[in-house]
Amino acid sequence: MDIEEDIRSLQLDSAEDNNGVVNPEDGKPEEVEKYDKMDEDPKQEVEAEPKAVEAEPKVKDKEIPSVQDEEDVPEMTKRHLNVVFIGHVDAGKSTTGGQILFLSGQVDERTIQKYEKEAKDKSRESWYMAYIMDTNEEERVKGKTVEVGRAHFETETTRFTILDAPGHKSYVPNMISGASQADIGVLVISARKGEFETGYERGGQTREHVQLAKTLGVSKLLVVVNKMDEPTVQWSKERYDEIESKMVPFLKQSGYNVKKDVLFLPISGLMGANMKTRVDKSVCPWWNGPCLFEALDAIEVPLRDPKGPFRMPIIDKFKDMGTVVMGKVESGSVREGDSLLVMPNKDQVKVVAIFIDEDRVKRAGPGENLRIRLSGVEDEDILSGFVLSSVANPIPAVTEFVAQLVILELLDNAIFTAGYKAVLHIHSVVEECEIVELLQQIDTKTKKPMKKKVLFVKNGAVVMCRVQVHYFAL
């Protein structure tokens, strides 16, 4: 076809100018965003298909940089962080995420105008920024995030993957899935009169999301006080201080070291104030701290071990010239050509191709969100929650294990004892389980096991117990 030949020759010419390395930045931001959202919105998948076909020769025609040439690819030299946006429903998580993508150049002005018109037609004028993250029609009509939205942006030093978690109580399992993939959390709190109180009171999602995030390993937290430009707030220092003073004791109670691991800052997600650049002194004279982008760049997370046994929990799979699985690398590294095991089925597979965002790479390390094309297995043989694992050191599969549990809240003030049935969430696994034995209760002050035999525990207890599942737990 003439069009394909023209594209091919143009890419060959540009690749020669760059010493044979295809520049991932040559793609248009609009195309990147559509590709990210393909799985979430079938309408967009149809629209994006021709562009995906056009982009394919990039991978086929030019040799992918070898591992030794990785320093030639600027994107791969930056550190990578997964950021989950959590908080009560309507706090402004999707709007803030959409504004970040707009400010970082991932979405153009024309697309924003389209979303603005669409939101106005639905009589939801202030929701247009959220449409960047909330891509399916159900989310736009309800004005609620349902699935975990996923997008990418970069600052000078860091590549970020945004995970936009739903705030509604009905979709807590989806929020858990998003938080389990994250390195750091952004807790979005609405400063509007009454909205902070609703989210913070018992039963509000602000409390539950903080506790879940800490439990799921999100050790660093940015608390952004949103909607500071709202008429009931008007960048009031008193309102900001009130929210901070109420949140600090609760964050400490949830296990966060507030001085080291938590940072508060005021923003307006809808207007983009104090996000990419610091808020103007004429608007907010009392704020001397960083803006959101600076705060994200400054966060330090513990170094991961790239030489550990390979572990990648699979969060999704689909067919695309073979079986493609998606997930975050929790441990170890992977290269093109590696042999791996899909556990617990023990299917041996070969890595055909690895993609980080839209870029094909030769290898990837821990913390990266990947799409991996596999040979040797059909997509119907893989379920969400399976783990891609090294052959030499595969992840164990068991039906019973010992766990330390923190009992945050029991429904209807029930008693937690042997025979208690619950739903278990581990990375992307959701499985029914039963507590078969209580082993020891842990003293919350000394952190040491108590000597007396434990038969039951109530809210607030920490207990070691034996958990049984009907299927394999990984």
Does position 417 have pLDDT exceeding 70, yes or no? yes
pLDDT band at 473 (very low <50, low <70, confident <90, very high): low
Q: CB–CB of 205/103 below 8 Å?
A: no
Which domains, and CATH codes, for the chain? 79-298 (3.40.50.300), 311-390 (2.40.30.10), 398-473 (2.40.30.10)
Mind listing the pLDDT tens digit for each residue in 346-372?
999 999 999 987 788 998 988 888 899
Which of 99-108, 221-230, 242-251, 264-273 is predicted with the least confidence, judged by mean pLDDT? 99-108
Comparison of pLDDT for 115 and 426, the residue scoring more: 426
Q: What is the pLDDT of residue 171?
A: 58
Q: CB–CB of 309/333 below 8 Å?
A: no
pLDDT band at 293 (very low <50, low <70, confident <90, very high): very high
Q: What is the pLDDT of residue 130?
A: 66
Q: Sort strands 158-164 and 79-86 into parallel, antiparallel or unpaired.
A: parallel
Helix (H, G, I), strand (E, B), or coil: what is residue 269? coil
- List CB contacts of 411: < 8 A, sequence separation 6 or more: none
Q: How far is residue 26's CA from residue 30's CA, in Å, rounded to a whole number?
A: 12
Which of 2-6, 183-187, 207-211, 432-436 is predicted with the least confidence, judged by mean pLDDT? 2-6
Does position 143 have pLDDT exceeding 70, yes or no? no
According to DSSP, residue 350 is labeled: E
Question: Could you tell me the end-to-end alpha-carbon distance of the chain, in angstroms, rounded to an integer?
Answer: 48
Does position 158 have pLDDT exceeding 60, yes or no? yes
pLDDT band at 389 (very low <50, low <70, confident <90, very high): very high
Mind listing the pLDDT tens digit for each residue in 67-86?
334 433 333 567 888 888 88
Q: How far is residue 221's CA from residue 164's CA, in Å, rounded to a whole number?
A: 15
Mind listing the pLDDT tens digit for each residue in 196-221?
988 888 777 888 888 888 877 788 99
pLDDT band at 45 (very low <50, low <70, confident <90, very high): very low
Among positive and negative, which fits the CA dihedral 177, 178, 181, 183? negative
Share of the chain above pLDDT 90, in %: 28
Mean pLDDT in the chain? 77
Q: How crowded is residue 201: how many other Cβ atoms within 10 Å of its Cβ? A: 11
pLDDT band at 47 (very low <50, low <70, confident <90, very high): very low
Does position 182 have pLDDT exceeding 50, yes or no? yes
Helix (H, G, I), strand (E, B), or coil: what is residue 138? helix
Does position 7 have pLDDT exceeding 60, yes or no? no
Does position 49 have pLDDT exceeding 60, yes or no? no
**pTM (predicted TM-score):** 0.69
Candidates 50, 62, 80; CA nearest to 8 is: 62
Max CA separation in the chain (angstroms): 80
Mind listing the pLDDT tens digit for each residue in 13-42?
444 444 344 343 444 334 434 334 434 444
Q: What is the pLDDT of residue 351?
A: 94
How far are the Cα atoms of 240, 242, 340, 368 from residue 354, in angstroms, in the given order? 44, 47, 13, 11
